[in-house]
Every structure is written in structure tokens, then in C-alpha cells.
């Protein structure tokens, strides 16, 4: 198993693309996704040589409501027996839920039981933190885990065997959490000396009480894992920090986007730098647009095809999303990686990503398709008129924000892919 980095960075100008037409990014090599096939429908479907990476929030659902176009799109992906015609993996930056629960939720929203069609399987769902299963070097360390929902169950499912929650740390050291006057201790408790040192920080998603999590995470980093004692000088490098979901914004039922975990990370980074004068360092950044997330998704696509007995290699992936900063940027980054790998060129990487298995890959391209049912809205200002919303460690290359295709919804995206592949609609 070779050790390579998980994040790929490309430095460039700042901006946000919001063009609702086939962009000029082809000049950067991103239009080379076309199959070269004619659009004439084949008389009978052959073995699939393409698959889909579908985002969830803003593409299939808005909050707890399914987008109507998603029902028709999913129906088109099924054969008369209710089985998928091509491999499909759902790639979301959500993480505050168990993987099998997310699969059940998707199955219910897509009406799988009511229509007597195959339900979404857990191994078809990639949460923002799913690739952290590969980071075995941290699985035995005592990790402070932040997020909400079943954070302990999620951490253990990822392989982390020794975790402590922010709430458990707060209960062990009540004097650390002092913002909420009603939660302050009425008497000064005795300092504990039996609390094992924390060896790293695991950020699985946005927490509920940001002030508590921000305070205690910074305490752990500044004290080298011993927040009950403190240190005269903050250690640097600090303890390892592993984070998932870099989305600054995401789309729910509200008319405007909501803060995502990327906003929480931005606050943590700013506080740490303000206090220490140094930059917060991540050992791993997971979730779209992380390259490792797409490589992990590619592996699941290949395994799914093998289980179905589809012997033809999956050459092309269609990545459908609503967020230019995560879905489009990540898909284009992965496409660029595939093109460089095919030419035998080593991609530029940044940050420590832990060990990655060098999975066999037959995939040659990844096509980014941007839909207008979520964060992206047609007619919004161009990329050079808006600030860069992506994470600082991924830098910015304007070409990577240019989607190969911009369509109205996921139904149009699936139809476009079938047309590109010459499949009947």
C-alpha cells in the first residue's frame, strides 16, 4: 500500500463560475469527456461502460423532500425488473448519519419499496468521512470526535476504536465550557489527573454548539491533548487533525444556502491562527472535492459492476452535483488526475493523506454535470465576480469550476449521459 496525499491543490486566480451553458473550460482539457460515439440509439443495451456519481442534497432531495425530477431520473436508471441498468454510487458530503440509515432514507424517498425496485444498498452510499476507513495509522489513537448525530458509532464504523466526544470532555473538565452562563459550574471542581491524553482530533461534521466545540478543540490542540493542565507554550506541529466535509454552504428547504461544516472549519482555522500566529494543519481532508473521495467512489463503482457480472470495464463516470465548489471542482479535479495518470504524469499533491491503496483503474474520464436545483442558480454572477468558497488547502483554478454540462435537474443529467453513450432513452 503506497503512501500518497489525499488532497490535490492547484493554485490560481480567485472566483466562482455560475454560467448556464457549455463553458470555455474545454480549452483546459476538460471537454475531452465525450465518448466520440454517435447519438443514434442502440437497438439493445450492451454491458455498461459508464456509471454515475450522484450527489444527494440539492440534486435528489431538498432537506427531507425529494425533488420530483429525481424520481423520474431514478426510474430511468432501472430496467423492467427494477434493477439498475448501470452502476450508481451516491456521493454526499453529509456525515451526521450512519451509512445504512442514509441508504434506507434514500430508498424511502425514491419510493423503492412502493415501486418494487431494488433498494439502495449501504455500499452504494459514500458519506463525507467514508474514506477515513483507509487511515489505519490513527485507528488506535485516542481521538476527540466532533459532530452531531451518531458520532461514536460513525467513528467506530470507520475503524476508530478509542474515541472521546466533546460532551465527554466537557463533563470531565466543566470549567472549559464557559460561554453559556447557564452551563457554567456553580462550584470549582477538582482538577482531574486520571483523564488519558487525547492524541488527535476527528471532525466528522458540523456540531450543534459551535462555541463549545471550537473552545474545546482549540484547548486540546494548545495543550497537546491535556486540556485540564494547559501548557506555557503551544506545541507546533500540533496533534493530528482529520476532517471531513469542506462545504461552506449547502442547500436545504430554505431559499438561501445554509452554513456547512466548511464554515465551522473556517472558524476553527481563524481562531487557531489568531491565537498562535500559525496555520492549522490537516492530516486529512475528506469529502468532495477531495481526490481520495472520488478514487474511493471509483472503487465502489468497479465492485458494483463486478457483483452484477458486468465484465466490460467502466471507462467513464458522470458526476452530477449542484455545488460548483465541491461537486464540479472535485469531478474536474478527478478527471484531470485520470488524464495525467493515463499519460504517466504525477499529479501535484498537498497535505498528508495517509496510506492509499493503489486500486486498479480502467476509468479514463469523469464528466462534471451541474444541476440548477440546489446551491447553483442559473444567471448568477460569473466566477470572477464572486469570492472563492472552496477550502483554502485546495487553492483555486478557475477552469476546474467550469462544468462540462449545465442542465436543469438530475433527470436532464441522466438523459444527457444516456445520449452521450448512445443508449436508448
| 65, three cell numbers | 423532500
Length of the chain in residues, anyone? 425
Given this model, what pLDDT does residue 79 score? Answer: 93
56, three cell numbers = 444527494
> Greatest CA separation found in the chain?
79
The string of DSSP codes covering 181-225 is GGGS-SS-PPPPS-SPPP-EEEE-S--S-HHHHHHHHHHHHHTTT
Nearest alpha carbon to residue 374 among 319, 320, 322: 322
pLDDT at 40: 39
Name every residue whose Cβ is closer than 8 Å to that of residue 134 and which is 6 or more positions away in sequence: 292, 296, 354, 355, 356, 357
**Assigned C-alpha cell, 14:** 480567485
Q: Are 423 and 45 in contact (CB under 8 A)?
A: yes
Q: How far apart are CA 386 and CA 14, in angstroms?
A: 8
Contact 10, 391 (CB under 8 A): no
- d(CA 96, CA 131) in angstroms, rounded, equals 15
Helix (H) or strand (E) holding 268: helix 261-276
Q: Which residue has the cell 495525467?
A: 340
The position carrying cell 459550574 is: 185
What's the Cα-to-Cα distance from 276 to each of 212, 234, 272, rounded to whole Å?
A: 19, 7, 6
CA-closest candidate to residue 413, choices 76, 61, 2: 76
Q: At 165, is the secondary structure helix, strand, or coil? A: strand
What pLDDT, on a 0 to 100 scale, did the predictor assign at position 6?
A: 36
Task: Copy the grid coordinates of residue 285.
Answer: 481532508
Distances (CA, A) of 113 to 117, 210, 368: 6, 38, 30
> CB under 8 Å to 208, separation ≥6 — which residues?
148
Q: How far apart are CA 240 and CA 244, in angstroms?
A: 14
Query: Per-residue confidence of the chain (425 residues) as pLDDT tens digits?
Result: 333 333 333 333 323 233 333 333 333 444 444 444 433 344 346 799 999 999 999 999 998 899 999 999 999 999 999 999 999 999 999 999 999 999 999 999 999 977 788 899 999 999 999 999 999 999 999 999 999 999 999 999 999 999 999 999 999 999 899 888 788 877 777 667 789 999 999 999 999 999 999 999 999 999 999 998 878 889 999 999 999 999 999 888 898 999 999 999 999 999 999 999 999 999 999 999 999 999 999 999 999 999 999 999 999 999 999 999 999 999 999 999 999 888 876 554 433 354 444 555 789 999 999 999 999 877 665 444 567 889 999 878 889 999 999 999 999 999 999 999 999 98
Distance CA 193, CA 226 (A): 9
- For residues 312, 416, 15 and 332, what is the CA-based torsion angle, rounded to 10 degrees? 10
- Per-residue pLDDT at 64: 86
The C-alpha atoms of residue 146 and residue 166 are separated, in whole angstroms, by 6
Within 8 A by CB and 6+ apart from 202, the residues are 132, 138, 143, 144, 145, 146, 155, 160, 163, 242
Amino acid at each position: 500500500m503506497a503512501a500518497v496525499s489525499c488532497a490535490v491543490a492547484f493554485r490560481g486566480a480567485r472566483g466562482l463560475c455560475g454560467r448556464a451553458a457549455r463553458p470555455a473550460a474545454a480549452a483546459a482539457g476538460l471537454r475531452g469527456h465525450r465518448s466520440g460515439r454517435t447519438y443514434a440509439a442502440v437497438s439493445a443495451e450492451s454491458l455498461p461502460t459508464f456509471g454515475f456519481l450522484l450527489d444527494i442534497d440539492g440534486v435528489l432531495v431538498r432537506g427531507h423532500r425529494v425533488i420530483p425530477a429525481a424520481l423520474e431520473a431514478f426510474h430511468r436508471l432501472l430496467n423492467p425488473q427494477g434493477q439498475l441498468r448501470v452502476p450508481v454510487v451516491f456521493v454526499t458530503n453529509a456525515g451526521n448519519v450512519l451509512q445504512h440509515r442514509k441508504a434506507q432514507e434514500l430508498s424511502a424517498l425514491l419510493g423503492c419499496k412502493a415501486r418494487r425496485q431494488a433498494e439502495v444498498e449501504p455500499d452504494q452510499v459514500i458519506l463525507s468521512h467514508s474514506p477515513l476507513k483507509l487511515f489505519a495509522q490513527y485507528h488506535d489513537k485516542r481521538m476527540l470526535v466532533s459532530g452531531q448525530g451518531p458520532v461514536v458509532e460513525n467513528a467506530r464504523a470507520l475503524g476508530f476504536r478509542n474515541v472521546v466526544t466533546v460532551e465527554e470532555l466537557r463533563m470531565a473538565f466543566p470549567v472549559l465550557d464557559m460561554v453559556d452562563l447557564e452551563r457554567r459550574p456553580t462550584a470549582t471542581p477538582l482538577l482531574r489527573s486520571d483523564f488519558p491524553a487525547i492524541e488527535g482530533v476527528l471532525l466528522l461534521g458540523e456540531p450543534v454548539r459551535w462555541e463549545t466545540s471550537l473552545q474545546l478543540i482549540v484547548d486540546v490542540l494548545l495543550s497537546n491533548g491535556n486540556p485540564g493542565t494547559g501548557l506555557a507554550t503551544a506545541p507546533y506541529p500540533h496533534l493530528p487533525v482529520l476532517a471531513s466535509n469542506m462545504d461552506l454552504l449547502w442547500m436545504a428547504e430554505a431559499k438561501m444556502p445554509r452554513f456547512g461544516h466548511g464554515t465551522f472549519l473556517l472558524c476553527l482555522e481563524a481562531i487557531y491562527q489568531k491565537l498562535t500566529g500559525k496555520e492549522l494543519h490537516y492530516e486529512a481532508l475528506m469529502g468532495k472535492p477531495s481526490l481520495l473521495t472520488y478514487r474511493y467512489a471509483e472503487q465502489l463503482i468497479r465492485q458494483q459492476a463486478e457483483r452484477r457480472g458486468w465484465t466490460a470495464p467502466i471507462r467513464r463516470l458522470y458526476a452530477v452535483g449542484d455545488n460548483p465548489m465541491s461537486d464540479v471542482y472535485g469531478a474536474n479535479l478527478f478527471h484531470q488526475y485520470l488524464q495525467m495518470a493515463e499519460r504517466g504524469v504525477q499529479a501535484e499533491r498537498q497535505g498528508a493523506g495517509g496510506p492509499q491503496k493503489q486500486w486498479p483503474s480502467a476509468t479514463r474520464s469523469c464528466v462534471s454535470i451541474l444541476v440548477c436545483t440546489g446551491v447553483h442558480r442559473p444567471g448568477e454572477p460569473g466566477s470572477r465576480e464572486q469570492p472563492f468558497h472552496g477550502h483554502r488547502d485546495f487553492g483555486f483554478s478557475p477552469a476546474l469550476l467550469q462544468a462540462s454540462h449545465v442542465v436543469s435537474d438530475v433527470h436532464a443529467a441522466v438523459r444527457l449521459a444516456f445520449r452521450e453513450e448512445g443508449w436508448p432513452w
